[in-house]
């Protein structure tokens, strides 16, 4: 298949609250091809995880999807798919790795049984073949002593081991698309790099499309082909990874880059922070959502929301973007 694996068109996901409608994802569009990795970054609460669940169609019943939203997976509009069809696609053709494996794994099933369940359900493998494949998958994701681990329960494993099991389950049926939603948040720093390297290696070996969701731009620097920066439910900048790091045009992206700790910084120096707080998604400001926190904001920024416009493959949403030479 030569076309994109995933096309998200004007995705709008909202929730009814006692104070009004909360617009968690507000008009997001993106395209992803096989073999490519897209990083989605932004502060906590910007809509990254809700976007991931929207793509997987794993939203609660209280969620409201905008009438113009389209979600095309390998050419099929999942917005029109039945729940039966979605269950056939999830796990088999598209899979997700959540940030906390202890809540995504079944505590009363062995890890081998949880992997084998996906193989028997989606691929029709025999129980014996599925169990052998489960052991091989645990070896593939770098779990030591896979022949022993396959018979253990999640509580018998460390956090890093449980996340490797979650990745093995996601990779079991060789999906076309893998979404990793903050896969290292619950892990020790020493384990994080191993998990990220594992995901990158598996993505390349299997030629999957992958979405890597994180709040840390440093995580995506060497592990993605393209980066989309989210703020207040919208994509505010999107570009090839090297272009974004070389010349971020949106002030919010520039502030995120500035907040990454650097080895050459003074040991007792203060870390850079983004002053202020993210906007209320129920009652957002009338203009640019970042304007109250932006040093470059003018009158137009506070009155009229900017649209995502492009300069080649680099798009940004800002009335007063950083000049390319200043951004570099």
- Give me the pLDDT at residue 272, please: 76
SS3 130: helix
Cα(87)–Cα(103) distance, integer angstroms: 20
Is pLDDT of 326 > 70?
no
- Which residues lie across from 16 on neighbouring strands? 21
The CA R_g of the chain, rounded to the nearest whole Å, is: 21
- Which residues lie across from 237 on neighbouring strands? 229, 316
Closest of 66, 36, 22 to residue 228, by C-alpha: 36
Is pLDDT of 325 > 90?
no
Cα(254)–Cα(248) distance, integer angstroms: 6
Which of 133-138's residues contact partners 24+ apart within 8 Å by CB, and which partners? 133/172, 134/168, 134/172, 137/168, 137/171, 137/172, 138/111, 138/112, 138/164, 138/165, 138/168
SS3 168: helix
SS3 218: helix
Question: Could you report the per-residue pLDDT of 182-225, keeping only the tens digit for each?
Answer: 988 767 877 888 888 889 998 999 999 999 999 888 889 989 99
Share of the chain above pLDDT 70, in %: 95
- Give me the pLDDT at residue 283, please: 93
pTM of this structure: 0.92
Share of the chain above pLDDT 90, in %: 75
Cα(49)–Cα(211) distance, integer angstroms: 11
Contact yes or no for 281/234 (Cβ under 8 A): no
SS3 73: strand
Arithmetic mean of pLDDT over the chain: 91
Contact yes or no for 48/42 (Cβ under 8 A): yes
- Give me the pLDDT at residue 1, please: 54
SS3 37: strand
Cα(324)–Cα(328) distance, integer angstroms: 6
Contact yes or no for 221/241 (Cβ under 8 A): yes
Question: Could you report the per-residue pLDDT of 107-129, keeping only the tens digit for each?
Answer: 999 999 999 999 999 999 999 99
- Give me the pLDDT at residue 192, please: 84
- Give me the pLDDT at residue 34, please: 95
Q: State how beta strands 94-97 and 177-181 pair.
A: parallel
Give strand ranges (E) for 3-78: 6-17, 20-32, 37-41, 63-65, 70-73, 76-77
Cα(124)–Cα(126) distance, integer angstroms: 7
Question: Could you report the per-residue pLDDT of 29-88, keeping only the tens digit for each?
Answer: 999 999 999 999 999 899 999 999 999 999 998 899 999 899 999 999 999 999 999 999
Q: State how beta strands 209-214 and 37-41 pair.
A: parallel
Query: Among positive and negative, which fits the CA dihedral 82, 79, 208, 213?
Result: negative
Local confidence band at 267 (pLDDT 50, 70, 90 cut-offs): low
């Amino acid at each position: 298949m030569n076309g994109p694996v995933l096309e998200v068109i004007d995705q709008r996901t909202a929730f009814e609250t006692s104070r009004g409608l909360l617009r968690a994802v507000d008009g997001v569009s993106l395209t992803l091809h096989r073999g490519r990795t897209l990083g989605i970054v932004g502060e906590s609460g910007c809509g990254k995880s809700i976007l991931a669940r929207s793509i997987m169609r794993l939203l609660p019943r209280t969620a409201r999807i905008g009438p113009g939203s389209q979600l095309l997976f390998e050419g099929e509009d999942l917005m029109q798919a039945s729940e039966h069809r979605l269950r056939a696609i999830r796990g088999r053709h598209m899979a997700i790795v959540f940030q906390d494996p202890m809540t995504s794994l079944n505590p009363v099933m062995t890890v081998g049984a949880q992997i084998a369940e996906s193989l028997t359900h989606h691929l029709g493998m025999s129980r014996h073949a599925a169990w052998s494949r489960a052991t091989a998958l645990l070896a593939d994701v770098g779990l030591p002593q896979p022949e022993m681990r396959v018979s253990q329960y999640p509580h018998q494993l460390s956090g890093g081991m449980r996340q490797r099991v979650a990745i093995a389950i996601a990779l079991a049926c060789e999906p076309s698309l893998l979404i990793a939603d903050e896969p290292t948040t619950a892990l020790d720093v020493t384990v994080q790099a191993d998990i990220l390297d594992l995901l990158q290696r598996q993505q390349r070996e299997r030629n999957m499309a992958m979405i890597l969701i994180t709040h840390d731009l440093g995580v995506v620097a060497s592990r993605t082909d393209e980066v989309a920066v989210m703020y207040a439910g919208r994509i505010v900048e999107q570009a090839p990874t090297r272009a974004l790091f070389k010349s971020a045009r949106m002030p919010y992206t520039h502030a995120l880059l500035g907040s990454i700790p650097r080895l050459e910084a003074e040991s007792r120096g203060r870390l850079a922070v983004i002053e202020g707080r993210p906007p209320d998604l129920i009652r957002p400001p009338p203009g640019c959502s970042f304007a109250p926190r932006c040093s470059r904001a003018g009158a137009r920024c506070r009155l009229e929301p900017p649209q995502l416009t492009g300069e080649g493959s680099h798009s940004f949403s800002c009335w007063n973007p950083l000049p390319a030479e200043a951004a570099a």
